[in-house]
């Protein structure tokens, strides 16, 4: 069976399983209650969409900062490429394998392919480091601020340990692990070495800029936490959410985004896990599922804009 056929099977199975999870999550808390919660957000959707747009701007600026000095790519060009790439990555099971080539394609008349690929590699690795930091913060907040059952507490501690080990392994890989005496590298190691050289070369030549990118990525996650906090405030009505609840919900969202990228729009997975996490955070499960539905509407809106940019893109002769 070909790789393309395997991907199609993964897409179909993931979508069907996600649809089943979505139906289960909605049925378990009540579709009418979810709809009422979404209606309660009302004009708050304007704020939610604006915050999401600001996050795209931040990622686009991070990419521009990772470009070689003297390279010209306007904020508008970078933003359009990011919106298009995110849309393509969201509707396919390929994730970065689809989104990053889309960005390269849309900027090919402004950047050399080598510059696009190397700068995107650096930007994605720095962003991945910020995602790990966000997840670790969420796990620590759960341990400190939430009265967790002993089993769940043990799972959270194990997850923290896994994150530390994973970060150490990633750092070791970036330093290089291949012994030249063993002969030529396998193809996948050759690609990894190319990425490593791009990152190390950029960090050696522009250490200050690398930290600026990481700081902007942390701002990206801060805006995401603010979005969750505001959305929960609208969904809960007479109750006010806590910052700890918003942080943990967003940390879960980062995990879902990374682990279930093969499911288009993470349909069903986000709703089911948010609904399951809600009682642990002393939040009504209806609000947890509705939060995921609101995020889905926001994702569909920006994906629609991204796909429109792809469809209307005109290549120069």
- pLDDT-based confidence at residue 186 (cuts at 50, 70, 90): low
First to last CA, the chain: 38
The DSSP symbol for 109 reads T
Please indicate, yes or no, if residue 152 is contained in any of the structural domains: yes
Query: What are the tokens at 283?
Result: 């939040």
At residue 293, the pLDDT reads: 92
At residue 10, the pLDDT reads: 63
Please indicate, yes or no, if residue 38 is contained in any of the structural domains: yes
Question: Among residues 211, 283, 279, which one has the least CA distance to residue 65?
Answer: 211
* pLDDT(3) > 60: no
Q: What is the mean pLDDT of the chain?
A: 82
At residue 151, the pLDDT reads: 85
Phi, psi of 217, rounded to the nearest 5 degrees = -65, -35
Which residue segment(s) compose the domain that 52 sits in? 9-312
Please indicate, yes or no, if residue 215 is contained in any of the structural domains: yes
At residue 205, the pLDDT reads: 61
Please indicate, yes or no, if residue 170 is contained in any of the structural domains: yes
At residue 201, the pLDDT reads: 64
Please indicate, yes or no, if residue 3 is contained in any of the structural domains: no
The most confident of the ranges 133-142, 162-171, 306-315 is 133-142
Query: 3-state class of 164 per DSSP?
Result: helix
The string of pLDDT tens digits covering residues 160-171 is 888 888 777 776
* pLDDT(317) > 50: no
Residues 280 and 258 sit within 8 Å (Cβ to Cβ): no
The string of pLDDT tens digits covering residues 228-256 is 999 999 998 778 899 999 999 999 899 88
Q: Measured between alpha carbons, how far is 91 from 296 in angstroms, rounded to an integer? A: 12
At residue 175, the pLDDT reads: 62
Please indicate, yes or no, if residue 85 is contained in any of the structural domains: yes
Q: Measured between alpha carbons, how far is 72 from 173 in angstroms, rounded to an integer? A: 31
* pLDDT(6) > 70: no
The string of pLDDT tens digits covering residues 256-286 is 888 777 777 788 888 888 988 889 888 989 9
The DSSP symbol for 166 reads H
* Percent of the chain residues topping a pLDDT of 90: 31
* pLDDT(178) > 90: no
Residues 263 and 47 sit within 8 Å (Cβ to Cβ): no
At residue 180, the pLDDT reads: 63
At residue 163, the pLDDT reads: 82
The string of pLDDT tens digits covering residues 25-63 is 778 777 788 888 889 998 999 999 999 999 999 999 999
* pLDDT(302) > 90: yes
Please indicate, yes or no, if residue 40 is contained in any of the structural domains: yes
Query: What are the tokens at 274?
Result: 């948010």
At residue 131, the pLDDT reads: 93
- pLDDT-based confidence at residue 316 (cuts at 50, 70, 90): very low
Please indicate, yes or no, if residue 138 is contained in any of the structural domains: yes
Question: Among residues 281, 274, 314, 317, which one has the least CA distance to residue 296?
Answer: 274
DSSP string, 214-241: HHHHHHHHHHHHHHHHHHHHHHHTTS--
- pLDDT-based confidence at residue 114 (cuts at 50, 70, 90): confident
What domain count does the chain have? 1
* Better-predicted residue by pLDDT, 172 or 249: 249
Average pLDDT over residues 282-293: 91
- Considering the entire predicted model, what is its pTM? 0.86
Question: Among residues 140, 143, 161, which one has the least CA distance to residue 152?
Answer: 143
Q: Measured between alpha carbons, how far is 227 from 49 in angstroms, rounded to an integer? A: 9
At residue 194, the pLDDT reads: 67
């Amino acid at each position: 069976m070909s790789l393309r056929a395997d991907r199609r099977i993964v897409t179909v199975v993931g979508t069907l399983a996600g649809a089943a999870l979505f139906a289960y999550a909605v049925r378990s808390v009540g579709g009418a209650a979810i709809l009422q919660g979404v209606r309660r957000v009302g004009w708050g959707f304007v704020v939610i969409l604006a915050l999401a747009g600001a996050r795209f701007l931040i990622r686009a600026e991070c990419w521009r900062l990772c470009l070689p000095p003297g390279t010209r790519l306007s904020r508008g060009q970078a933003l359009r490429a990011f919106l298009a790439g995110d849309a393509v990555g969201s509707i396919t099971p390929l994730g970065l394998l689809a989104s990053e080539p889309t960005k390269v394609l849309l900027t090919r008349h402004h950047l050399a392919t080598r510059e696009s690929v190397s700068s995107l590699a650096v930007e994605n690795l720095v962003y991945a480091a910020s995602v790990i930091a966000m997840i670790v913060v969420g796990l620590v907040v759960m341990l400190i601020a939430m009265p967790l059952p002993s089993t769940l507490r043990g799972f959270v501690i194990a997850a923290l340990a896994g994150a530390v080990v994973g970060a150490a392994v990633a750092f070791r890989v970036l330093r290089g692990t291949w012994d030249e005496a063993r002969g030529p590298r396998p193809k996948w190691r050759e690609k990894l070495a190319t990425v490593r050289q791009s990152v190390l070369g950029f960090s050696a030549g522009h250490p200050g800029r690398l930290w600026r990118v990481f700081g902007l990525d942390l701002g990206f996650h801060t805006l995401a936490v603010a979005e969750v906090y505001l959305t929960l405030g609208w969904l809960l009505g007479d109750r006010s959410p806590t910052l700890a609840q918003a942080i943990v919900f967003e940390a879960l969202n980062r995990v879902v985004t990374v682990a279930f990228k093969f499911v288009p729009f993470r349909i069903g997975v986000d709703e089911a896990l948010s609904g399951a996490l809600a009682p642990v955070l002393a939040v009504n499960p209806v609000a947890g599922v509705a939060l995921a539905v609101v995020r889905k509407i926001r994702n569909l809106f920006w994906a629609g804009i991204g796909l429109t940019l792809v469809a209307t893109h005109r290549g120069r002769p």
